[in-house]
Structure 1
Amino acid sequence: MTVLIDPPQWPAHDTLWSHLVSDASIDELHRFARAAALPPRSFDLDHYDVPRHEYDRLVASGAEPVSANELTRRLIASGLRVRAKDRPRH
């Protein structure tokens, strides 16, 4: 069971954002997010978007800090990655 978080480096809405993923299962990711009181609306198909001010708290709660490249590599290797071109169109 591993929940991973990359550094807050993705700018949006006047802050920087991290991605929180599981390399085991989406259910594991949702359990971790619920325990950490992350809002369900922050889930985006295969990850949670996490504002910079939550990063240290999530690492203290057990998320493993990794580089953005490592997070992506491990998410792809897990088979849980949802590519942008595969996202449902609304």
Structure 2
Amino acid sequence: MSVYVDDAVTLWRGQRWAHLMADTLDELHAFADRLGIPRRAFQNKTSGAHYDLPADVREHAIQLGAIPISRHRDRDLVRAVIRNAKAQGRGLAQ
């Protein structure tokens, strides 16, 4: 079981943001809790179950053991993680 954080590439409100995703929703929520991210920040969407992280929190997530994944270097892994997050967002995976 793993938790992943992608590149902080999305610019919003003057910050770069990343996505925190995991193999299971339980892992995802537990890891977000360790980061101090409230459950209300959970994005349960068909685009993928995730939490948005500003770049500085992304770095903290990596320090806590999240696996950094790059849309440029780890394309196959990123696609698999996003496919799983999308299934979780639709409620099809646990």
* TM-score > 0.5, shorter chain as reference: yes
Per the TM alignment, residue 25 of structure 1 is displaced from its structure 2 partner at its CA by 1.0
Write the deviation string for residues 24-58 of structure 1: whole angstroms up to 9, x where unpaired: 21111001111121122321110000001111111
Q: Offset at 1:66?
A: 0.4
- Rounded Cα–Cα distance in structure 1 between residues aligned with 2:41 and 2:78: 18
% identity of equivalent residues: 29
Alignment check: 8 A CA contact 1:16 1:51 kept = yes
Partner of 1:53: 56
User: What is the aligned partner in structure 2 of residue 8 from structure 1?
Assistant: 8
Write the distance in 1 (CA, Å) between the matches of 2:12 and 2:42: 15
**Count of residue pairs the alignment pairs up:** 82
**Runs of 5+ in structure 2 lacking a partner?**
none
SS in 2 for 1:34: helix
CA displacement at 1:9 relative to structure 2: 0.4
| Alignment RMSD | 2.2
Deviation at 1:2, TM superposition (A): 0.4
Any unmatched runs of 5+ in structure 1?
Answer: none
Letter in 2 for 1:19: H
| Ranges of 4+ aligned residues in structure 1 off by more than 3 Å | none
1:30 corresponding residue in structure 2: 29
CA contact (8 A) 1:42 1:50 kept: no
TM-score, normalisation: structure 2: 0.74
